[in-house]
Chains A and B, each alone.
Chain A
Amino acid sequence: KNQVEQSPQSLIILEGKNCTLQCNYTVSPFSNLRWYKQDTGRGPVSLTIMTFSENTKSNGRYTATLDADTKQSSLHITASQLSDSASYICVVTGGSQGNLIFGKGTKLSVKP
């Protein structure tokens, strides 16, 4: 069964600290993996996309990694800011029909 699992479910960190969010998937065949950021009461916005051949991709203070062999991805946030408080959703495109499979998200709270 095609699934995307994210951990932790929620996370609280202090402003200025780093954190890493995890995404494990069992989707096959794999096409790509996106990380979305969803602010409270808003729609998700894409942060980065990873394809099979990419290991690392950065977008400002956000760095995503992909290990296609172990089917794991991580999103690392450096020097967190209060505005990073949001839910982060991992979405894998794949399967026999190229469907989008959503993780349930990690809710990040950055405290001053």
Chain B
Amino acid sequence: DVKVTQSSRYLVKRTGEKVFLECVQDMDHENMFWYRQDPGLGLRLIYFSYDVKMKEKGDIPEGYSVSREKKERFSLILESASTNQTSMYLCASRSLAGSSYNEQFFGPGTRLTVL
């Protein structure tokens, strides 16, 4: 089974702090994604990575950066956390092998609260 893990289930930070969210997948997937999920807004794509050291902005990249130094790990960085970044953050990964209909596998999510 594909496993996508995220470093924390719950996180509380203060405004202005630098925040690191880590995601690790164990299936050698090329693609990895970071989303945030807010009530009434659904999932919105922050950043994605096609492969190691590659990154692309999603729909809402402002205030975030990412790092993909190893294939299995994709990090989301909040340079200076703000209260409007309080949200559920979901990581996903996807294989490029075989069908173009490949499923995105999601991690359990990190609920971040910025005070």
Residues of A bordering B, CB below 8 Å: 31-32, 34, 41-46, 49, 51, 89, 93, 98, 100, 102-105
Contacts and interface: CB of A to CB of B under 8 A. Distances in A.
B41 A104 contact: yes
B47 to A, nearest CB: 14
Interface string B85-115: 0000010100000001101101111010000
Nearest to B4: A43
A31 B101 contact: yes
Contacts of A103: 42
Given A103-B42, A104-B41, A49 B106 contact: no
Chain B residues touching A, range? 10 to 19
Contacts of B4: 43
15 contacts: A31-B101, A32-B101, A41-B9, A41-B108, A41-B111, A43-B108, A44-B90, A44-B106, A46-B103, A51-B101, A89-B42, A89-B43, A98-B100, A102-B43, A104-B42
A39 to B, nearest CB: 10
Given A102-B42, A102-B43, A104-B40, A43 B106 contact: yes
A11 to B, nearest CB: 16
Contact of A42 (B40, B101, B108): B108
A88 B10 CA distance: 23
Given A43-B90, A43-B107, 13 more contacts: A31-B101, A41-B108, A44-B90, A44-B106, A49-B103, A89-B43, A93-B101, A98-B100, A100-B45, A102-B42, A102-B43, A103-B42, A104-B41
